[in-house]
């Protein structure tokens, strides 16, 4: 006859599973791993787990998240890609301070609801959304961010919304990087259909 594990045993097992995932876990991942919702709630009530956002938890005894906003958005919107001002900030190509996390989504993709942080959603074509993506492991969560080159092309595409001062500053800061990949810049400019717009600025500044 099988004996049901006690709540303490269930919590100990759950903590071990969450540690294996880097100390953070989604509710869906916890359920797949066999952690019962009541165990998650018990861990939360005992202040062993803290809720970062809806359906996303971390162990309280772990190191603080280095970039909680990006991590939260990546965990809640895995199909999104960090773009534009947020990507510029990530790559240190702007002096602007993002007031929300900018993410790129495909046309028709449902916009998720987040309690925090604020997000700004931009619709990218399937072709534009499929290229130039970097995957960064931050606090045990994979965060998708457009590369510096793709981000520059995107900024020219959305220049009327961002302002040319932001775009030209990004181009200027890109020039200071050790590794300039002009071929990729031009390729992404073609994908974003801004090659004619970008080329004069590239010839003048790079």
The whole-number pLDDT of residue 6 equals 61
- Would you tell me how many other CB atoms lie within 10 Å of the CB of residue 7? 12
The whole-number pLDDT of residue 52 equals 75
The four Cα atoms 192, 196, 198, 202 give a dihedral, to 10 degrees, of 140
Q: What residues have CB less than 8 Å from 116, skipping those under 6 apart?
A: 53, 72
Cβ contact 156:189 at 8 Å: yes
Structure tokens at 11: 């919590």
Q: List the one residue out of 79, 206, 93, 200 whose CA is nearest residue 152.
A: 93
The whole-number pLDDT of residue 1 equals 29
Q: What DSSP element (H or E) covers 105?
A: strand 101-105
Min mean pLDDT across 47-51, 145-149, 197-201 is at: 47-51
Q: Across residues 32-60, what is the average pLDDT?
A: 84
Each domain of the chain, given as residue ranges in start order, spans 7-59, 68-205
**Mean pLDDT for all residues in the chain:** 87
Give start and end residues of each alpha helix (H) in 21-123.
27-32, 37-45, 68-76, 84-90
Task: Tell me: pLDDT of 132 over 70.
Answer: yes
Using CA atoms, how far apart are residues 36 and 153, in angstroms rounded to an integer?
Answer: 46
Min mean pLDDT across 45-49, 122-126, 189-193 is at: 45-49
Q: How far is CA 70 from the centre of its chain?
A: 5
The whole-number pLDDT of residue 129 equals 95
Min mean pLDDT across 6-20, 94-108, 163-177, 188-202 is at: 6-20
Using CA atoms, how far apart are residues 93 and 136, in angstroms rounded to an integer?
Answer: 17
Specify the CATH number for 7-59; select among 1.20.58, 1.10.10, 3.30.2010, 1.10.3470: 1.10.10
The whole-number pLDDT of residue 72 equals 87
Percent of the chain with pLDDT over 90: 44
- Would you tell me how many other CB atoms lie within 10 Å of the CB of residue 27? 15
Task: Tell me: pLDDT of 4 over 50.
Answer: no
Q: What DSSP element (H or E) covers 59?
A: strand 56-59
Cβ contact 206:180 at 8 Å: yes
Task: Tell me: pLDDT of 150 over 70.
Answer: yes
Q: For 68-118, write each residue's pLDDT tens digit.
A: 889 889 988 889 999 999 999 999 999 998 889 999 999 988 887 777 788
């Amino acid at each position: 006859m099988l004996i049901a594990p006690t709540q303490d045993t269930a919590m100990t097992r759950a903590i071990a599973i969450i540690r294996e995932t880097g100390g953070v876990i989604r509710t869906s991942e916890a359920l797949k791993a066999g952690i019962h919702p009541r165990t998650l709630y018990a861990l939360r009530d005992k202040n062993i787990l803290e809720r970062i956002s809806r359906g996303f938890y971390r162990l309280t005894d772990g190191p603080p998240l280095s970039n909680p906003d990006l991590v939260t958005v990546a965990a809640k919107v895995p199909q999104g890609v960090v773009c534009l001002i947020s990507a510029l900030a990530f790559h240190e190509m702007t002096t602007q301070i993002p007031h929300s996390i900018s993410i790129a989504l495909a046309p028709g993709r449902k916009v998720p609801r987040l309690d925090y942080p604020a997000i700004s959603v931009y619709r990218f074509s399937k072709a534009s959304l499929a290229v130039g993506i970097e995957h960064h492991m931050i606090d045990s969560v994979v965060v998708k961010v457009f590369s510096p080159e793709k981000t520059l092309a995107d900024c020219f595409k959305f220049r009327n919304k961002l302002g040319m001062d932001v775009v030209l500053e990004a181009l200027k800061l890109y020039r200071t990087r050790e590794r300039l990949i002009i071929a990729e810049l031009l390729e992404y400019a073609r994908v974003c259909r801004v090659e004619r717009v970008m080329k004069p600025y590239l010839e003048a500044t790079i």
